[in-house]
Structure 1
Amino acid sequence: MGIELTLLHGVYLLFILIIIGVMIMRRDTSLVCVIGVFLLGLIATSSLSIAVSGIFNSFIYAIKELLGTILVISVIVAMSRVLIRLGINEVMISPFAKFIRTPALAYWTIGILMMVISWFFWPSPAVALLGAVLLPVALRVGLPALGAAMAMNLFGHGIALSGDYIIQGAPKLTADAAGIPVGDVMAASVPLVIVMGVVTTVLAYWILRKDMQKGTLQVSEEELQFTNEAEGDQLLSDRSKKLLAVLIPILFLIDVTVMFTLNLQGGDATALIGGTVIFILMLISMLGYQDKGLEKITAFLIEGFQFGFKVFGPVIPIAAFFYMGDAGFIAVFGENLPEGSQGIVNDLGYALANNVPVHEAVATFTLTGVGAITGLDGSGFSGISLAGSIAGLFAVAIGKGIATLTALGQIAAIWVGGGTLVPWALIPAAAICNVDPFELARRNMIPVIVGLLVTTVVAMFLL
C-alpha cells in the first residue's frame, strides 16, 4: 500500500511532464529542472534559504553520483587524442583494411569494428579512431560515405552506446534512477539490444543496397578525393607504433578478463578501465614526446576533461532534479518527506498501482515513447534518468519487469538522442565522412523507428 499523495508528489509529477514538453520543443531543460528542485525544497521544508541552498546541493549530489562516469569518459578521450596525434590509431586499425573488398564487407566491417571500439572508447572518440583510416578504403570499394556514416552511427551510437557493457555509464544512470543494481539492467538489456541492433542494421543495409542498385546513391568523384587524413606528430618509429598498437588491445583484453574473473561491474569495472587508460596515456606521451612528455600528459588530460564536462554539463541539472525522486531528496533536504513515504517516485508508483489499471503493453510502449522523447534534446544521457524513474513507477504498478522496462527506456533514449536520429547529435560521424547530418538522420529514421517498434513488442513478452 502507498501513502496519500501530497502537493510534493503533484509538483514532482507536474515537472516531469513539463520537462518532457520542453524536450519535445527541443529546448534546454536546465531552468525547468532548477525551478523544480527549488519548489520541491520549498514545499518540503517551508524554508526559502534551504530551498535556495538545495539547488546548489542537488548539483553537488548529481556531480558526485556522475563523477566516475564523467572522469572515465574524459580520460578515454584524452588517450584517444594522443593515439591520433602520434598515428598509433592508424596502425591499430589498418590490418582490418585488407578484408574490405566489397561494399557489403565495408559496411559490416566498419560497423562491427565501430561497435567493439565504442564499447571501450565510446562512439565519438571511436569515430575519430576508425573513420580516417577505413573511410577511404570503403569509398574505393564502392560504399558511399553516407553508408559508412550509417554503419558508424547504428553500430556505435546505437548498439554499443545503448548497451554500454564495458564502461557502464548508461546503465548506471538508469539503474540509479530506477533504484536497482546495474547488473540487473545490463542483463535485461542484452536481448533487447540484440533485437534492436539486428533489425536496424539489417534493414538499413537492405535500404542502402537497394538505393545503390538503383543508382540513386553512389560514390562520387568528390567523395573519392576526400580522405580527411590529418597530419599527426611524426615522433614515433613505425616499429614503436606497431608495438604499441599491439600492446593497447592486449591491456584492454586483460581488463575484460579481470572483469569477468572477479565479477567486476559498475564503478569497479569503470575504475579498472579508467586506470588502464591513464596508464596508457602516460606511457605513450612519455615515449612519443620524451622531454615534453610531462607537459603533454597534462595537456591531453585537460582536453579530455573539457570534453567530458562539455558532454555531461546538460546532464547535471536534469539528473539533480530526477535524483530528488529517490535517495537524492533526503541527501539534499533531509528527512522532510511525508510520513510513511518511500520516496516520491515509489509513492507515485504505489498510487498508480492502486488507482490506474496498467497493462504490460501500455507500460512497454510508454517507456519507449518516454525514452524517445527525452532523446530529442540530442544528448541521449540527459533523459535516461527519467526513463529509469518511470520504469520504476510502471514496474510497481504491474508488479514486475523493472529491469526490462528500465533497459527499454535506456535503449530508446540513446538510440534517438545518442546519435542516430537527432541531426545535431550526428555531427561526429557526419563530419568524419563529410556528409550532411540531416540527410544521415533521414536515412537512419526508418530503420530506427522499425527497430524500436519490434524491440518494444519483444520487451512486452519478456516482462
Structure 2
Amino acid sequence: MVQLTWTHYIYVIIILIIIAAIILKRDVALICILGIGIIGFMATGSLLKAVGVIYKAITVSGKEFIDIIIIISLVNAMSKALSDIGADEIMISPIKRLMLNKTMAFFILGITMMIISWFIWPTAAVVFIGAIMVPAAIKVGLPRIWIAVALCLFGKGAALSSDFFIQGAPATTARSAGINDTFEIVKASIPFWSTMCIASSITAFILMKLNTRVSLVDEAGETAVTEDKRVKGSKTISVLTIGMFILNILFMILFKIKGEEATALIGGTAVLILIFAVIAKFGLIEALGEFTGYIRNGFMFGTKIFAPIIVIGAFFFLGSEDTANRILGSEASGLLTDVSMYVSSKVRLSRISAITMQGIISIMVGVSGSGFGGIPLVGTLARAFSTSIDVSIEKIAAFGQVITVWIGGGTIIPWSVVPVAAICEVTPIELAKKNLIPVAVGVAVTFIVGLIWI
C-alpha cells in the first residue's frame, strides 16, 4: 500500500494553488518553478540539490517537448515563406469563389481555416487566409463578428484540439500520460473531437441566424485590397505544396506511418517547401542567407509558444514515475500517481467520478488561456486514474486534451483570441462572449459522450 509523505501533500497543495491562479487568470510559470524547488528540497533534503532539481526538471521537460517545438517552428517558417511569395493567395482563391451566401461563407471559411491550421498552426493560418477570405465573406453579408467566431471555433478549437498532422497536442498528451504511441491518443480523441466540433459549430450557426442586431453587409470589406507579392514560380510552388501534403497523407495511410515518423515526414516536407519558396523569391545565391532568417524566425515563434509550457510541464512531470526518476533520482516515485492510488484505496474512485474530475480540471486549466499549458496536467491525471481504476488511459487523456485545448486554445479567453479579433477588426471581449455559448454547449455534450464512451 502506498504511504503518503509530506512531499505528496505539498505537491497536491501546489497543484491547488496553480488551479486557483488559473481561475484568477494569473500566469502559473513562476508558481511551477517555485513548486519544483520546494519539492526538490523536500525530496533531497538539500537546498543546493533543490536548485539543481529546478534546472534538471526544465531540461527533462524540454527534452520531452523538443521534437514538437521543432516541427511547429519549421512549419511556421514554411508558412511565412509561402505568404511572402503570394502562394497562400493562389492556394485559397478557388475556395474563395465558393462563398455565395452567409451560410456557405461561414462553413467554407471555418473548414478552410481548420484544414490549413492542421498543417501550419492556427495563429499562422489566421494571417494566411485572413486578408484573402475575410473580405470575400463580408461581401456576401457575413458580419465580421461571425467571421471571427468561425475562425476561432474551427481553427483554435477544432484544428488545435485534434492536431492530426503536426501532432503537437496529442504528442504532448501522450508524453505526459506515459503513452509511447501518439496515434493512440489521436484515435481515442476522434469521438470527443467530433462531438465537440459538431455541437459548437451548429450552436454558433444557429445563433448567427437568430442574431438580427448586426448589419448584413459591411461595405468596408468590399474595398479591401491585398498586396500582390507573387513572384515567378509562385503558382508552381502553391501547386507543389498542396500536392506534397496530399502525398504525405496518402503515404501515412498506405505505409501506416504514424507518431514520430509522421511528424518527421511533415517536418521534412515543410523544409523542402521552405527551400523552394526562398529560392523562388530571392534566387539561389541570396537564398543562402535569407533561408537562415526564415529558420531563425520560425524557431523564435516555436520557442515563444512552448517556453511557458516547458516550465509548466516540468512541474507536472514530477507526478509521473518515469520522468520523476530522471528529475529527482532513481528512488523517486510519481507523486500524483501515488496520491491517486492512495485515494483509491481509501475512497472508492469510480469511473464516473474519475471522468468528472478529469472534465472539471480540464475546464479549469483551459481557463488559463493556454490550451497546451494544461495538457501536461490532464495527461498526468489520466495516467494516475488509469492505475487506480479500470479506465482507458488513452480515452480519458484524449477527453481531457480536447476540452482543455478547446477552452484554452483561443476561443473563450479574451487575450487568446486577439490575433483573430485583430484580423477581423472586432474587440476580443465581444468575440470571446460570442464563442462562450457554442463552446459551453460543446463541452456539455462532449462530457455526456465521455461518460458513455470512456
TM-score relative to the length of structure 1: 0.94
1:311-348 CA distances to partner (integer Å, 9 max, x unpaired)?
111111111111111222211221232xxx5x222222
2:6 aligns to what? 7
2:219 corresponds to? 221
1:257 to 234, 250, 261: 250
Residues 140 and 217, structure 2, Cα contact 8 Å, conserved in 1? no
Q: Which amino acid aligns with 1:184?
A: E
Residue 429 (structure 1) aligned with residue 420 (structure 2):
yes
Counterpart of 2:364 in structure 1 is 373
The residue aligned with 1:187 is 187
Q: What residue in structure 1 maps to residue 435 of structure 2?
A: 444
Conserved? CA contact 2:28–2:312, under 8 Å = yes
> Does 1:133 find its partner at 2:115?
no
Structure 1 stretch displaced more, 123-132 or 178-187: 178-187
1:4-38 Cα deviation digits (max 9, x unpaired): 11122212212111111111111111121111111
1:36-47 matched pairs, under 5 angstroms: 36-47=35-46
| Pair 1:397-2:388 in alignment | yes
Q: Which residue of 2 aligns with 1:300?
A: 294
Give the 3-state SS of the residue equivalent to 1:278 in structure 2: helix
Alpha-carbon offset, residue 398 of structure 1: 3.1
Tell me if the contact between 1:114 and 1:155 (Cα under 8 Å) persists in the aligned partners: yes
CA deviation profile, 1:347-396 (whole Å, cap 9, x unmatched):
22211221122333332232222112112221111111101112222333
Q: Check if 1:315 corresponds to 2:309.
A: yes
Equivalent position of 1:273 in the other structure: 266
* Partner in structure 2 of residue 58 of structure 1: 57
Alpha-carbon distance in 2 for matches of 1:313, 1:7: 30
Structure 2 CA distance, aligned partners of 1:140 and 1:410? 37
1:333 counterpart = 2:328: yes
Q: What residue number does 1:453 align with?
A: 444
Matched, 1:384 2:375: yes
Aligned equivalents of 1:414, 1:6: Cα separation in 2: 33
Work out the CA distance in 1 between the residues paired with 2:397 and 2:26.
25
Aligned counterpart, 2:399: 408
Consecutive unaligned residues of structure 1, counting only runs of 5 or more, are none
Residue of structure 2 in register with 1:288 after alignment: 281
Q: Is contact 1:84-1:232 (8 Å) kept? A: no
The 2-side partners of 1:223 and 1:173 are apart by 39
CA contact (8 A) 2:101 2:140 kept: yes
Separation (CA, whole Å) in 2 of partners of 1:426 and 1:401:
33
CA contact (8 A) 2:119 2:166 kept: yes
Report if aligned partners of 1:349, 1:392 keep a CA contact under 8 Å in 2. Answer: no
In the alignment, the residues of structure 1 paired with residue 221 and residue 247 of structure 2 have an alpha-carbon distance, to the nearest angstrom, of: 39
Partner Cα distance (1:54, 1:397) in 2: 28
Say which is worse superposed, 249-258 or 262-271, in terms of deviation. Answer: 262-271
- Rounded to whole Å, the distance in 1 between the matches of 2:41 and 2:237 is 56
CA change 1:454–1:228 in 2 (3 A) is farther
Q: Secondary structure at the match of 1:383?
A: helix
Structure 1 residue 424 displacement after superposition: 0.8
How far off its partner does 1:255 sit? 1.4
Given that 2:161 and 2:405 are in contact with CA atoms closer than 8 Å, whether structure 1 keeps it comes out as yes
**SS where residue 143 of structure 1 aligns?**
coil
1:107 positional shift: 0.6
Secondary structure, counterpart of 1:5 in structure 2: coil
- Alignment-mate amino acid for residue 323 of structure 2: G
Please state how far the C-alpha of 1:217 moved relative to its aligned partner. 4.6
- The one-letter code matched in structure 2 to 1:29 is V
How far apart are the structure 2 equivalents of 1:37 and 1:381? 19
